[in-house]
Chain A
Amino acid sequence: MASSVVKSIISTVREKGLGGFFRYLKDEGYRRCLPDGNLLQTKIHNIGATLVGVDKYGNKYYEKTENTQYGRHRWVEYAEKTRYNASQVPAEWHGWLHFITDHTGDELLLLRPKRYGLDHKENLSGEGDEFIYHSKGHALNPGQRNWTRYQPWESTTKP
């Protein structure tokens, strides 16, 4: 295992040069591994696993069926390396990731109705007042629905 890691590092350095290699390390979030053990563990976990798919947000979905405890054989590496949470997984991948289905998100996307269906939105709680969800009747919703059932006469309109 360790030898394959070293091999892949050497091949990457050869391919991109040393500067390119460090940029690659930074982009892939290896630098965040130092303060974030969770990410480090994911990275180690990724070694030897198969990449099943990448969703449109850049989250990578891995699977490793051998030498892995059952129930830990599918996981996601978030595209967002600093502020990641489970709500960033879109609906089509959710089922695969949680062992609800064996169809990958890419397969399920083909079944998605074209005419309707909203884009996935991650939960932005705690990210600021403007991200708080307010229902259509809420006083703080800027587009608060007007429940008046009649249209009043506007005194500014002239005949």
Chain B
Amino acid sequence: MGLGLLASKAMRPTASRLLNFQNPNNLLLRTIVSKPELRKPEPAAAQPEAPLVDLSPRTPVGGARVHFSNPEDAIEVFVDGFPVKIPKGFSVLQACEVAGVDIPRFCYHSRLSIAGNCRMCLVEVEKSPKPVASCAMPALPGMKIKTDTPVAKKAREGVMEFLLMNHPLDCPICDQGGECDLQDQSMAFGSDRGRFTDMKRSVVDKNLGPLVKTVMTRCIQCTRCVRFASEVAGVQDLGMLGRGSGEEIGTYVEKLMTSELSGNVIDICPVGALTSKPFAFKARNWELKGTETIDVTDAVGSNIRIDSRGPEVLRIVPRLNEDINEEWISDKTRFCYDGLKRQRLNDPMIRGPDGRFKPVNWGDALAVVAEAAHQVKPEEIVGISGKLSDAESMIVLKDFLNRMGSNNVWGEGISENTNADLRSGYIMNTSIAGLEKADAFLLVGTQPRVEAAMVNARIRKTVTSNHAKVGYVGPATDFNYDHQHLGTGPQTLVEIAEGRHPFSKIISNAKHPVIIVGAGIFERKDQDAIFAAIETIAKQGNVVRSDWNGLNVLLLHAAQAAALDLGLVPQSEKSLESAKFVYLMGADDTNIDKIPKDAFVVYQGHHGDKSVYRADVILPAAAFSEKEGTYENTEGCTQQTWPAVPTVGDSRDDWKIIRALSEVAGVRLPYDTIGGVRSRLRNVAPNLAQMDEREPAALPSSLRPTFTQKVDPTPFGVAVENFYMTDAITRASKIMAQCSAMLLKK
């Protein structure tokens, strides 16, 4: 028996006698500490080594893995007597996590800088006179960390009592209820009673815009949101005002939060101070069904979880994927979901002779379409797939039109001279996570902040951590990091290629240079010449090497990469003007004025957006939240959506509609299940069958034939006019309309 045990045995009788003593005067001495041994905590260091009870290897918290870049850097620390090996530079909190001990925390967030101001993560360290804040304390070799000693427990109880002192007791009406860190941790570490009898403080709510609802009285000043805004989002909107009990989070002047990542503060807020405004009072988190799927509003393919209740999508939250979106998503991704409930097409419709649409059943609608398709010459049939189309429906559309004898099928945002032959010519070869290594960026005709907010967050991260230089060629735009605006047109590119521009030095001196080309250039007539200039820059700057491929294309929408993989490229410029039968599969951003007046137009899609008004037949399809579909993101990673909610009305999955149409038209396609479509997909583009894996391009892009065409001096255009409204879903969304009205006004 150790001394410590003896000591505690000696102590216990007195303590219990004190507790059992039913003196009414003694009852006034209500104590916050609930256990006798907590009432007189002594540093455990005084105790000699107690016999170690549990030395079996424990599983790290959340499956955390430690990567040792240099094996010599490993140090050994003891967490509750259990030895763990961690790399140098880890904090005590991280060491505990590796050892499988979850330390309570509010202000610490692994992706933000360390503030150390909530004091919830206090642990006891041997030979340290006071408990230490484990998030801010670097682990030293041989450190003996104790996480469940009376000192640590009392420290947590005390911190929790201070936090709850000014925290309102409004969990029943708080949207964070059920997923609140403070709620959970006060259950686990807090005391069962409080001693606070004064008035609680109250704080005026701030208006942060249409997305984030604030109840600042609930704020516990962890400053996660302030750090997120300045470090990740790159806007200096939020800050800390006042000191002591007058401390408040807020915008310094009355101002809305104008970041495209502002929704993430809802996730990182450990309490209910920042919650989602559109989701306010809609549901409790335990009522929701989560479906792990991916986002299609931009080409990044952020990993998301769609939370639904019954047939309704109630919110969208991010899912962790280190390679793509880390744990953030853009506001467009997070708040577009109310568009899924508005302007939906729910019945097949045929335009009558009076120009009005009449709902019909599927058999009649398909019969009309099939008859119209057979009445035109095969080369007059045109099919266009839209921004949100999945790979399955695109391959089925292509197969169907090929069987009808036409090869005029393409995806939106792809023009006739887009190079779809070499995969490295249209994907992000560096990969999104690979951008973090870069030390010089050349952005050509792309505004990553609006085109792909998550890629922009990576670039920003690289710029702030590596001090990478950013050069930008294109129209004047808003960046949230340091950059040089080199010029507006392709002429600047030629200058850099010919070495006349100072930025060509920066590229050739850089170890890991990255060139990012916007997909808006695909629409330009002189894109071959521009790509030739870019390749010259790449060659001179040694951008493409065996160990580093820094030549990237940043695509604009979710369907683009898969469409290029499947070869959905227009054959000639004139094919749409001479078309007699046009099949629009969710294509809303095609210039419908180009379609001849006498053409028969079929619109297949899920929203009544722009092209429906030109359609003769409407075939309702499923949105991304309702179907199983394969999408490839801009870095060439194939991912899949899963149905979270049922389809609305009488609509059907996209590929099924075309498969059914092919049978009615007498050119029956040979697959009946989604598995069948996928095996066909595998034959055409094998990389689309490799789910959740990034397939790097096989050939370096320098194999392209060289062009000698002259560049057109017209400046680069803006590919995305309005960040919040880019496709049928976001254009139907009320929240997105509010955002573009309030946040985009200059």
Q: Which residues of A contact B (CB under 8 A)?
A: 149-159
Q: What does the 1/0 interface line of B335-357 toward A look like (CB < 8 Å)?
A: 00000111111110100000011
For residue B608, which residues in chain A have a CB less than 8 angstroms away from its CB?
A: 153-155, 157
How far is the CB of A147 from the nearest CB of chain B, in Å? Answer: 10
- Per DSSP, chain B at the interface is loop
Q: Does B610 contact A (CB under 8 A)?
A: yes
In the complex, the chain B residue whose C-beta lies closest to that of A158 is B613
Q: Does B554 contact A (CB under 8 A)?
A: no
Beyond A155-B356, A155-B357, whether A150 also contacts B610 by CB under 8 A is no
Q: Does B648 contact A (CB under 8 A)?
A: yes
Q: Are B356 and A156 in contact (CB under 8 A)?
A: yes
How far is the CB of A41 from the nearest CB of chain B, in Å? Answer: 54
A-B contact pairs, 10 of them (CB 8 A): A149-B311, A149-B312, A150-B649, A151-B341, A151-B343, A151-B344, A152-B345, A152-B649, A153-B612, A155-B349
Q: What does the 1/0 interface line of B607-628 toward A look like (CB < 8 Å)?
A: 1101011000000000000000
User: Which of A152, A155, A157, A158 neighbours the largest number of chain B CB atoms within 10 Å of its CB?
Assistant: A155
In the complex, the chain A residue whose C-beta lies closest to that of B345 is A153
- Inter-chain CA distance A156–B342, complex, in Å, is 15
How far is the CB of A145 from the nearest CB of chain B, in Å? Answer: 15
Q: Which residues of B contact A (CB under 8 A)?
A: 310-312, 340-347, 349, 356-357, 607-608, 610, 612-613, 648-649
For residue A150, which residues in chain B have a CB less than 8 angstroms away from its CB?
A: 311, 340-342, 344, 346, 648-649
- Inter-chain CA distance A156–B312, complex, in Å, is 25
How far is the CB of A89 from the nearest CB of chain B, in Å? Answer: 36
In the complex, the chain A residue whose C-beta lies closest to that of B344 is A150
- Inter-chain CA distance A136–B613, complex, in Å, is 36
For residue A151, which residues in chain B have a CB less than 8 angstroms away from its CB?
A: 341-344
For residue B345, which residues in chain A have a CB less than 8 angstroms away from its CB?
A: 152-153
Q: Are A159 and B344 in contact (CB under 8 A)?
A: no
Beyond A158-B613, A159-B613, whether A152 also contacts B346 by CB under 8 A is yes
- Inter-chain CA distance A118–B647, complex, in Å, is 40
- Inter-chain CA distance A91–B341, complex, in Å, is 43
For residue A153, which residues in chain B have a CB less than 8 angstroms away from its CB?
A: 343-346, 607-608, 612
In the complex, the chain B residue whose C-beta lies closest to that of A151 is B342
How far is the CB of A152 from the nearest CB of chain B, in Å? Answer: 5
- Inter-chain CA distance A74–B471, complex, in Å, is 92
- Inter-chain CA distance A142–B345, complex, in Å, is 26
- Inter-chain CA distance A155–B311, complex, in Å, is 23
In the complex, the chain A residue whose C-beta lies closest to that of B347 is A152
For residue B648, which residues in chain A have a CB less than 8 angstroms away from its CB?
A: 150, 152
Beyond A149-B311, A151-B344, whether A159 also contacts B356 by CB under 8 A is no
In the complex, the chain B residue whose C-beta lies closest to that of A152 is B346
For residue A159, which residues in chain B have a CB less than 8 angstroms away from its CB?
A: 610, 613
- Inter-chain CA distance A149–B311, complex, in Å, is 7
- Inter-chain CA distance A127–B357, complex, in Å, is 44
- Inter-chain CA distance A154–B349, complex, in Å, is 11
- Inter-chain CA distance A151–B340, complex, in Å, is 9
For residue B343, which residues in chain A have a CB less than 8 angstroms away from its CB?
A: 151-153
For residue B349, which residues in chain A have a CB less than 8 angstroms away from its CB?
A: 155
For residue B356, which residues in chain A have a CB less than 8 angstroms away from its CB?
A: 155-156
For residue B341, which residues in chain A have a CB less than 8 angstroms away from its CB?
A: 149-151
For residue B613, which residues in chain A have a CB less than 8 angstroms away from its CB?
A: 158-159
- Inter-chain CA distance A150–B340, complex, in Å, is 8
* Extra A-B contacts (15), CB below 8 Å, given A150-B648, A152-B649: A149-B310, A149-B311, A150-B340, A150-B344, A150-B649, A151-B341, A151-B342, A151-B344, A152-B343, A152-B344, A152-B347, A152-B648, A155-B357, A155-B608, A159-B610
For residue A156, which residues in chain B have a CB less than 8 angstroms away from its CB?
A: 356
How far is the CB of A23 from the nearest CB of chain B, in Å? Answer: 58
For residue B311, which residues in chain A have a CB less than 8 angstroms away from its CB?
A: 149-150
For residue B310, which residues in chain A have a CB less than 8 angstroms away from its CB?
A: 149
How far is the CB of A93 from the nearest CB of chain B, in Å? Answer: 35
- Inter-chain CA distance A40–B267, complex, in Å, is 73
User: Which of A149, A157, A158, A159 neighbours the largest number of chain B CB atoms within 10 Å of its CB?
Assistant: A149
- Inter-chain CA distance A87–B466, complex, in Å, is 80
For residue B347, which residues in chain A have a CB less than 8 angstroms away from its CB?
A: 152
- Inter-chain CA distance A115–B630, complex, in Å, is 53
- Inter-chain CA distance A153–B623, complex, in Å, is 14
How far is the CB of B214 from the nearest CB of chain A, in Å? Answer: 26
Q: Which 8 A-B pairs have the closest CB atoms?
A: A153-B608, A155-B357, A150-B341, A153-B343, A152-B346, A151-B342, A150-B344, A149-B312
